[in-house]
Amino acid sequence: MKQPFLVIIVAAVAFIIVMSLMLLAVRRSPSEVAGNLVAQSEEPPEEEEQANVANVVAEDLLPSLRTTATGIRELEIRGYVNNRGKLAVRSADLRCYFRTRSGGEASFDFPLIVDSRLEEVGGGPLMPLTRKEFGVRMGEFPDTVEPEIIRTETTNVRFLVP
């Protein structure tokens, strides 16, 4: 009869100790946490931003065209995004230019880096001096466009400022 009572007491004391340690570890108010998030979302000065945009580059692009069982053309692009700059990249898009069958050009924008906090599944910002693999897919790729990429540019780059 005394054994279960002793187990309950030990478990309660252990629970109180763990909760106290967690409370000491946090010690930040919600306003401080919100202030940190706002500070991270500020953009760098214009001239520094332009210099850093040139450092975000998509490399080793491999486009592949597939036709689904229903006859829909899908374009998949795999490659690497390289951040050679000194600021972490929060989000960016990749604009790809393709040649049309009539001799002109067509461009499509693809998400390159998505603003997310899911670091454990490959999300989150692209840190300085790092390279990450990416893959994008476009359903219903137009019949009038050739799947060969002529040139690319990085657009809509947003930085994570410390």
Q: How many Cβ atoms sit within 10 Å of the Cβ of residue 155?
A: 14
> 35 near 29, Cβ under 8 Å?
no
Q: Which of 1-10, 54-63, 68-77, 79-88 has the lowest mean pLDDT?
A: 1-10
Q: In what order do the strands lie in the sheet with 56-67?
A: 56-67, 73-83, 130-138
* Residue 118's pLDDT band (cuts 50, 70, 90): low
pLDDT of 65 over the 90 cut: yes
Q: Which amino acid is at 160?
A: L
Mean pLDDT, the chain, as a whole number? 79
Please name which of 109, 114, 111 lies closest in space to residue 89, comparing C-alpha atoms: 114
- Show the DSSP H helices in the chain as ranges: 2-26, 30-40, 46-53
Under CATH, which architecture does the 45-160 domain have? Sandwich (2.60)
DSSP-based three-state secondary structure for 107 = strand
Q: Which of 4-13, 58-67, 102-111, 147-156 has the lowest mean pLDDT?
A: 4-13
The domain spans of the chain are 2-38, 45-160
How many Å apart are CA 9 and CA 64, to the nearest integer? 64
